[in-house]
A and B are shown apart, each in its own frame.
Chain A
């Protein structure tokens, strides 16, 4: 299909008329084309699901800036949705993709995000099967928002749940933590040194490869908003266990550490968009780590925490610091505001 992108978005691009049609066929379809989507019917008619239990998720994306080192809002929207399915143990299959655009938004930005969406879809091996576009008046939105739904299937016999977590489990991070959050914060505040790049990526391939290696993953989560702090506290709450992190084994890039020092941010509260935290049985720890590291997306995976029985009256998530003390790890409260001196 011939690519033709408007210079600026007009309200009429969301009117449902000719301009909407041109936007869909000229900007979106050239990137996203597949037989189901290209039929442009009111609803996507899907093939029969493979055996297993269907998994369904939805997500909204409002990142500022919409284009950042290592990705864009479109790429992020697919990764975020695919990863939510993957960490639930599902094999992602199909996504819907709706855009809310602001009148006056730059056509190239829309095109960049459509291209990013297609690239992420190809990497994750999924299809965008339905879409929608709305345009809101200037000032009523911030350039581009995306809303997705994702459908996948949990294969028979696979059970991912926090209730399966046991004492002695170890927690593996699939790669360095906080790259995405640090990149976004640094870009927003003009600190971009060229050394930071978002970790944004689909993790479904990585996770499948670990299952194929025969690892009995008990539970998985993607540490997005709220980062490791939120995930670990929620998991401790749901599993009734105590989670002990070891500061020296937490994988963090030096440039991410530096941004956190400058802006006064908590590293473990930063969002990742291409990482997975996995709870695996202690006796499979080494094998699981090898399985992660064998896949290109898990090359820098590390075991950074262990699970113990909860202790009455004590906080459920703690970190053994590099200097030999122990400190509690709570969820962030409010926005992690930068310090002033």
Chain B
């Protein structure tokens, strides 16, 4: 399970840092690199990697935390479903504390609404089998990594005729928001650390457009400290040479085309749809909707009454997710918005940029 020890070796890291410092100096200007995977956000913060980089390298986080990019109206809909008769809503734990327009799943659970935390869509399917008289709605969020298991649960429900198992489709795919990021005038990203876990599924070919169409280099990296630092060094070398390629430094698990079996499974049940991202708004083809022949499993087709969507006042999650600002630049960070009392979604999940920053990078200031 644990990664090879050389990936955590301080000497190897120190060597990489020396190289990064040297290349950064040669480049002679500040370079902005973005990681777009929640697990990278967490890994970078937990190992304190940002503080080890020279001032010429700015490492920012992108929209890689699935909880954080889930828009508020998705949660409003989930809560409305939990209000219906004989309906149970099942969710991954991370979503529980994300603020909706008026409340949160956690608050609703405390007031007695039928909301269950599950660890996989199969747990929700099991609940559906055990409770044939109830409608079980699974909140299907996440990126390419969670989509195959959700598709597999739908497949199993279809095969066994478990008619009371439904999905509220909320899955997103990574390449479209990355296109939005490189087109963003406000933000100048010099290179991307590409999402290692997502790439296991998608392969790295799908990120080629970054280099080919926009001249921005990218590198697929793993999650150990040395993985990340090697990725930073690779991107800096490309910037220095004025090159733009997509490299794969995570070849121990990532191939060019990814997991085709999983891709076919997802494709059988889901199709690309426009979906809304917190901070970005609607992005074409960036979501996965259930295909129309599975409409009977699509909880988004159930009519419910929704409150007008309300984002918390002053919350800058959108700018944080687009990498325009770092969390401490948000006026709520660390004061009104803390992990115990999150105002914005980025403070909820351990993979949220603000939560990771608060927990792992805030060396100054009181902790309580």
Q: Are A340 and B47 in contact (CB under 8 A)?
A: no
Q: Which of A100-139 contact B (CB under 8 A)?
A: none
A301 to B243, CA, bound (A): 52
Residues of the B chain whose Cβ atoms lie less than 8 Å from the Cβ of A249: none
Task: Find out whether the CB atom of B8 lies under 8 angstroms from the CB atom of A340.
Answer: no
Do A325 and B47 touch (CB < 8 A)?
yes
Residues in B with CB closer than 8 Å to A339 are: 38-39, 42, 94, 349-351
Say yes or no: is A318 at the interface (Cβ < 8 Å to chain B): yes
Could you say which residues of chain B place their CB within 8 Å of the CB of A315?
362-367
A340 touches B361 (CB 8 A): no
In contact, B143 and A341 (Cβ under 8 angstroms): yes
Residues of chain A within 8 A (CB-CB) of B366 are: 315
Q: Tally the A-B contacts, defined by beta carbons under 8 Å.
A: 117
Categorize the interface residue count of chain B.
35 or more
A146 to B2, CA, bound (A): 37
Range of interface residues on A (Cβ < 8 Å): 35 or more
Report if B220 contacts A (CB, 8 A): no
A226-260, CB < 8 A from B:
233, 237, 254, 257-258
B92 part of interface (Cβ distance < 8 Å)? yes
A39: interface (CB < 8 Å):
no
Let me know if A58 is at the binding interface, CB within 8 A. Answer: no
A314 to B48, CA, bound (A): 16
B14's nearest neighbour on chain A, judged by CB, is: A324
Residues of A within 8 A of B46 (CB): 321, 327
Of residues 39 through 60 on chain B, the ones whose CB sits less than 8 Å from some CB of chain A are: 39, 42, 45-49, 51-52
Contact residue among B39, B340, B360 (Cβ-Cβ distance under 8 Å from A328): B360
B120 → chain A closest CB, angstroms: 9
Chain B residues in 8 Å Cβ range of A341: 38-39, 66, 142-143, 145-146, 197
Q: Does A48 sit at the interface, judged by CB under 8 A? A: no
Listed in ascending order, the chain B residues whose CB lies under 8 Å from chain A are 1-2, 8, 10, 13-14, 38-39, 42, 45-49, 51-52, 66-67, 92-97, 117, 119, 141-143, 145-146, 197, 225, 338-340, 349-351, 358-368
List residues of A whose CB falls within 8 A of some B CB: 189, 233, 237, 254, 257-258, 261-262, 264, 266, 313-318, 321-328, 330-331, 333-341
8 nearest A-B residue pairs (beta carbon): A325-B48, A333-B339, A337-B93, A258-B1, A340-B92, A333-B340, A327-B48, A341-B145
